[in-house]
Structure 1
Amino acid sequence: MCRLLLASVCFSGLLGASTAQAQRRRAPEFEPNVAYDGRFTWVRVKYMLPDLSSGSGFRGGRDLPWSHDYPRGERNFTKILSTLSTARVRLGSSNILTLDDPELGKFPVAYMAEPGFWRPNDKEVLGLRNYLAKGGFIIFDDFAGQHWLNFESQMRRVLPNARAIPMELTHPVFDAFYKVKTLAYTHPYYGLKSEFYGYFEDNDPKKRLLAIANYNNDLSEMWEFSDVGMFPVDLSNEAYKLGVNYIIYALTR
């Protein structure tokens, strides 16, 4: 079953892994946002980097941490989500929004890459706080090591009374679609032990999960390259299982 899952991702043809990596290093070309139409639409959160000398928003003139794995990561993932579930999923398009954009409230799930570089201004802090209070759910992904320190610091600004709670395998998010059997993952490059943290309403794991953080992990990296053989099939499948579970959980609660 797992290997068949990845077969459905190979809809765009196989590319050499070196080609895919070269594309990732270049500044991406961002597509226009699409209007809300009731379908599940992938929303990626963008943020500025305050330590940049130019107004381009690029670190080192090339790299935007929040854009890592765009657009292949979400394109591959939404194809899998649409194929395996009954969710109405928008394919081939996704949105990029700031946390203080009023449009964000139209979409139930948001995704942020590299929150170790995230430095929200006061409007963005309030925007995320309101988004979560109104029922939104956010996935933090693609960060490791000491990047946790900044992430936790910024989340204290967003939710001053909340704390990051280690996720247990018994939580319903890990059984929302697939029965996830283990959380013993490692970072695909660094070999660090992955850890999963949740932010809950009233700090109560029995109440609504507001946000989940994939620390020492990079699910979207594995989604991005799942059709080029860069990572073992089983590893890519596990990344898809977690992502599908997150979305189904958020859409049904």
Structure 2
Amino acid sequence: MKKLLCILFLFPALAMAQEIAVLKYSGGGDWYGNPTSLPNLAKFCNQNINTKLNSRTATVEAGSPELFSYPFVHMTGHGNVVFNDNDIVNLRNYLTSGGFLHIDDNYGMDQYIRREIKKIFPDKELVQVPVSHEIFKGPYSFPKGLPKIHEHDNKTPQAWGIFIEGRLVLLYTLETDLGDGWEDQEVHNDPKEVREKALKMGANIVNYAFNN
């Protein structure tokens, strides 16, 4: 709760409504992919972990001052990502001021996003988030780490992160495709249990972003 009050102070828009947003970026990648993902995740969180998220999730540009209105920002896509100098400074300030960015590779953005993350934090390295990290402990338990939602390259799901003073501020999920699991059932025809795993892991990420 103390951390949440801190976030409310840093992000005054939350005093009226708790909102999460999709990050719009340049480079040609489809930042707009998975349009039903965040609304469904917000609904699941509201019903199951007592959040009060606006189900009409926003879109925010990487270089916009509006970025600071959202304590949780989600980014996805299949291809190229380019952050300009203003985007880089804005994202760095956002993440060092209490913000949280979740990047979910929808397949094909790995080589590009790693390059751009390095621009944001040239003095830091992406490190694998251990399965012992609290983001895998609650509200739902994932003792083996990220669930596998969609098959890409027959690799184990990977959670990569940037930590600042012990806090995970950027989570990059690879070889899992959580966002596809959050979409409406008819989009990918995933079984109920697979979608449930994706939504529960998403709830853990939202919970961590709001309370740490």
TM-score range, shorter chain: 0.7 to 0.9
What are the Cα deviations for residues 96-135 of structure 1, in whole angstroms up to 9, with x where unaligned? 1111111111211111112742101000011100000100
State the alpha-carbon separation in 1 of the partners of residues 86 and 146 from structure 2: 37
Q: Is the 8 A contact 1:142 1:215 kept in 2?
A: yes
Q: Is the 8 A contact 1:47 1:119 kept in 2?
A: yes
Residue identity over aligned pairs, in percent, reads 23
State the alpha-carbon separation in 2 of the partners of residues 96 and 41 from structure 1: 10
SS of the equivalent of 1:135 reads coil
Q: Is the 8 A contact 2:149 2:198 kept in 1?
A: no
Question: In the TM superposition, what is the alpha-carbon distance from 1:181 to its structure 2 partner?
Answer: 2.6
Question: In the TM superposition, what is the alpha-carbon distance from 1:227 to its structure 2 partner?
Answer: 6.0
State the alpha-carbon separation in 2 of the partners of residues 187 and 193 from structure 1: 11
Q: Select the residue among 167, 182, 185 that pairs with 2:144.
A: 182
> Counterpart of 1:26?
none
Largest Rg, 1 or 2: 1
Question: In the TM superposition, what is the alpha-carbon distance from 1:212 to its structure 2 partner?
Answer: 0.5
> Counterpart of 1:66?
31
State the alpha-carbon separation in 2 of the partners of residues 188 and 48 from structure 1: 25
> Counterpart of 1:224?
183
What are the Cα deviations for residues 23-57 of structure 1, in whole angstroms up to 9, with x where unaligned? xxxxxxxxxxxx765322120000122xxxxxxxx
- Match runs of 1:133-148 below 5 Å: 133-144=96-107, 147-148=109-110
Question: In the TM superposition, what is the alpha-carbon distance from 1:250 to its structure 2 partner?
Answer: 1.0
- Match runs of 1:1-253 below 5 Å: 38-49=16-27, 65-70=30-35, 72-91=36-55, 93-114=56-77, 116-144=79-107, 147-183=109-145, 185-186=147-148, 188-190=150-152, 191-201=154-164, 207-226=166-185, 230-253=189-212
State the alpha-carbon separation in 1 of the partners of residues 107 and 148 from structure 2: 11
- What amino acid is the match of 2:127? I
Q: Is the strand fraction higher in 1 or 2?
A: 2
What are the Cα deviations for residues 188-231 of structure 1, in whole angstroms up to 9, with x where unaligned? 142432111111015xxxx1001101112211111113367701
Question: Number of residue pairs matched?
Answer: 199
Moved over 4 A (4+): none
What RMSD over aligned residues (CA atoms) do the two structures have, in Å?
A: 2.1
Q: Is the 8 A contact 1:139 1:211 kept in 2?
A: yes
SS of the equivalent of 1:97 reads strand
- What amino acid is the match of 1:150? Y
Q: Is the 8 A contact 2:127 2:160 kept in 1?
A: yes
- What amino acid is the match of 1:80? F
Q: Is the 8 A contact 2:159 2:173 kept in 1?
A: yes
State the alpha-carbon separation in 1 of the partners of residues 184 and 67 from structure 2: 28
- What amino acid is the match of 1:77? L
TM-score w.r.t. length of structure 2: 0.85
Q: Which runs of 5+ in 1 are unaligned?
A: 1-34, 50-58
TM-score w.r.t. length of structure 1: 0.72
State the alpha-carbon separation in 2 of the partners of residues 128 and 115 from structure 1: 20
State the alpha-carbon separation in 2 of the partners of residues 81 and 176 from structure 1: 13
State the alpha-carbon separation in 1 of the partners of residues 104 and 58 from structure 2: 17
